[in-house]
Amino acid sequence: MKLAQIRLRNFRCYKDEVSLDFGDMTALIGRNDAGKSTIMEALDIFFNDGLPDKHDASKTGNAADLCIIAVFEDLPESLVLDQTQPTSLADEYLLNADGKLEIHKVFNGGLEKPKLTNLKIIAVHPTAARVNDLVTLNNSELKARARELNIPLDTVDQRVNSQLRAAIRSYVGDLALDVREISLTEGNGVSVWKGMQAQMPAFALFKSDRASTDQDPEAQDPLNAAIKEAVRQKEPELNAIAIHIEAEVIKIAELTLKKLQEMDPSLASSLTPSFPPPKWANLFKASITGDDDIPINKRGSGVRRLILLNFFRAKSEQLIREQHKPNAIYAIEEPETSQHPRNQRLLISALQEITGTDQVILTTHTPMLARALPASALRFITKDENNQITILNGGEDGTNVLIAKSLGVLPDHNVKIFIGVEGKHDISFLKNMSNMLIDSGLNVPDLNKLELEGELIFTPLGGSALALWCNRLANLNRPEFHIYDRDDAPPSPPKYQRYIEEVNSRNGCLALATNKREMENYIHLSAINLALNEAGIATNLDSPINNFDDVPSLLFRKVNEVVNASDMWGQGRAKEFLCNSAIKKLTIEMLRETDTNNEILGWFDRIAEMLETQN
């Protein structure tokens, strides 16, 4: 399950409802006080069951309607909602008109201590009588509804709510589906909400402005985030335990009430135990201490941020090794804070590697960080003279210009070359290719070392957005080397021929297209199969890779024939496997078979020549 969108209304500076779309990596850009931190803290409130404080309601809006709306996509095919048996959000009619899960949390922010007043989903849901309230009914109420309608339940396991709901809907037939609100704050809706929460990403917020005190939790946050994620992986089982305990306690409560009424019928008419949702992550604590048992939070802010950096480096290594884990969201304010530029680059590299499985949300004021991200990952937040807020998506020419003007392009005298590519997987391909060529004894530039030392900057912006952004780099008087995927077979020109010509018209810059479809076509079939075998995936690609085959698609379709439904691959995961795992099995002999014209060595020769001009 991944976060697709957040909408805010009457929350701080967001009086009128605004919408922000998310991808695997999303970077919020804007001036100070534009509302970037507000978005981060709203997400924290939503995911971690927090509450706004009395100052969070918009001063000119409706304080009683402070609303945080989250929309999710990539939904699980099945999940446990209110019991231990799986069902699906689609079968329960809990998806909106776009087939996504849309959840609204509404707070009364006008109180001294604001509180949650409504928790609901917006879905295309039955409106017909007798079926419009099924998700709010518990097991005994569902059985009563079935008896009321004279529905035969011979083939239904009456202990299973989802089967009872399905039987009632099937019997009624015409459900009169329409978009409507479904409350999750009453009856069985509370259990349904617990089931949804168990499938949501764990969310961890790393803020930039924590005070450096003995109570500063920044150094501990990575471990707390790891605890949240580990608990989230087992939350369905934990919730099943909670449901069992609740059922057993209710049994004894009902028996106690019965015995109590035998002694004095006037004493009590009901005896209902209350079960607040358990917060499993709070049961576990972790800490980090340094030399001589000195807590890390006694060290400087730069050291504490280094812990954060290496947490994400460890996460990226774990994801590459394990390939598939339930996803999390890491929200990081100003990752450049208190860090040397080299460590900033390491952090961004680590964050890019964990995207695809996990989601990352950043705020930044630095052009270096923005240059390192795809234009489609950028969100520009701006206010007009009337304090009206607009959020624009990067990737569109007009927005890219505004972002570039807002951040500017600050000179970095260490930079010797900009390498423009279409995406993060191309960066992995080039860096791993550099390692292989060097290990084979060839004298080529070490792209990993150059990047860490700040002499090389990758710009994975893709297509026209890449050309537009790199135009902003021209004043730095540094060489640019762009590699675009050809995509289309000859005699068709490369897809980005127009931008290749535009870049090549600039002094000291070179752009070209691959001779094959894309970089993945240069990875030898044997290297791919060796990596599959090492990963324990019982399949092989069994035909030669042609110049214009869609290799990632060939790979994920083959893999999906042998893996479980819960571990299915897509295009992004296949590209990550090819450019991080398969390429590491590539040898110089294999490369010579797939690149008979020494095209890739030619790329490295040109990079070396450009670097030489800067010495």
In this prediction, residue 329 carries a pLDDT of: 87
Write out the H or E segment, with its range, that includes residue 145. helix 139-148
pLDDT band at 31; cut points 50, 70, 90: confident
Q: Could you tell me if residue 318 is inside a domain? A: no
- CA 121 to CA 95: how far, in whole Å? 8
For CA atoms 253, 258, 262, 267, the dihedral sign is: positive
Q: Could you tell me if residue 116 is inside a domain? A: yes
Q: Could you tell me if residue 524 is inside a domain? A: yes
- CA 11 to CA 34: how far, in whole Å? 13
Residues 132 and 22 grouped into a single domain: yes
- CA 50 to CA 115: how far, in whole Å? 10
Question: Helices H, strands E: what count in the chain?
Answer: 19, 18
The predicted model scores a pTM of 0.65
Q: Who has greater pLDDT, 190 or 254? A: 190
Residues 6+ apart with CB under 8 A from 392: 379, 380, 382, 399, 402
Q: Which of 521, 309, 314 is nearest to 425 (CA)?
A: 521
- CA 47 to CA 6: how far, in whole Å? 12
Residues 38 and 138 grouped into a single domain: yes
Residues 29 and 150 grouped into a single domain: yes
Final residue in a domain of this structure, among 269, 285, 311: 269
DSSP state string for 516-547? SSSGGGGS-HHHHHHHHHHTT------SPPPT
Q: Who has greater pLDDT, 217 or 14? A: 14
Amino acid in the structure at residue 32: N
Q: Inform me whether the pLDDT recorded for 583 exceeds 90.
A: yes
In this prediction, residue 232 carries a pLDDT of: 66
In this prediction, residue 337 carries a pLDDT of: 65
Q: Are 191 and 135 in contact (CB under 8 A)?
A: no
pLDDT band at 411; cut points 50, 70, 90: very low
For 297-328, the pLDDT digits (tens) are: 555 555 655 665 566 656 555 654 554 455 78
Residues 76 and 193 grouped into a single domain: yes
pLDDT band at 246; cut points 50, 70, 90: confident
pLDDT band at 436; cut points 50, 70, 90: very high
Q: State the average pLDDT over residues 131-148.
A: 93
In this prediction, residue 111 carries a pLDDT of: 93
Q: Who has greater pLDDT, 473 or 387? A: 387
- CA 62 to CA 333: how far, in whole Å? 28
Q: How many domains does the chain divide into? A: 3
Q: Could you tell me if residue 306 is inside a domain? A: no
Q: Could you tell me if residue 371 is inside a domain? A: no
Residues 152 and 241 grouped into a single domain: no
- CA 372 to CA 433: how far, in whole Å? 19
Q: At what angle do helices 341-354 and 424-439 cross, to 10 degrees?
A: 110
Q: Which of 373, 420, 425 is nearest to 400 (CA)?
A: 373
Q: What DSSP state is assigned to residue 277?
A: P
For 458-483, the pLDDT digits (tens) are: 877 654 454 455 455 555 567 889 99
In this prediction, residue 564 carries a pLDDT of: 84
Q: Could you tell me if residue 37 is inside a domain? A: yes
In this prediction, residue 212 carries a pLDDT of: 34
Residues 78 and 29 grouped into a single domain: yes
Residues 44 and 158 grouped into a single domain: yes
Q: Which of 70, 8, 18, 29 is nearest to 361 (CA)?
A: 29
Residues 188 and 243 grouped into a single domain: no
Residues 95 and 152 grouped into a single domain: yes
Sheet holding 2-9, edge to edge: 18-21, 2-9, 66-73, 101-108, 115-126, 177-183
Residues 244 and 196 grouped into a single domain: no
Residues 6+ apart with CB under 8 A from 485: 422, 495, 513, 514, 517, 518, 519
Q: At what angle do helices 221-233 and 235-263 cross, to 10 degrees?
A: 70
What is the domain extent for residue 542?
519-596
Residues 102 and 250 grouped into a single domain: no
Q: Could you tell me if residue 382 is inside a domain? A: no
- CA 21 to CA 102: how far, in whole Å? 13
For 51-73, the pLDDT digits (tens) are: 999 899 998 899 999 999 999 99
Weakest-pLDDT range from 36-40, 254-258, 298-302, 445-449:
298-302
Q: Inform me whether the pLDDT recorded for 23 exceeds 50.
A: yes
Token pair of 19 as six digits:
């919408």
The Cα-based distances of 252 to 64, 74, 257, 294 in angstroms read 40, 41, 8, 50
Could you give the residue ranges of the DSSP H alpha helices within 269-396?
301-322, 341-354, 367-371
Residues 75 and 136 grouped into a single domain: yes
- CA 105 to CA 67: how far, in whole Å? 6
Q: Could you tell me if residue 105 is inside a domain? A: yes
Q: Are 81 and 92 in contact (CB under 8 A)?
A: yes
The Cα-based distances of 120 to 10, 141, 204, 351 in angstroms read 17, 21, 23, 33
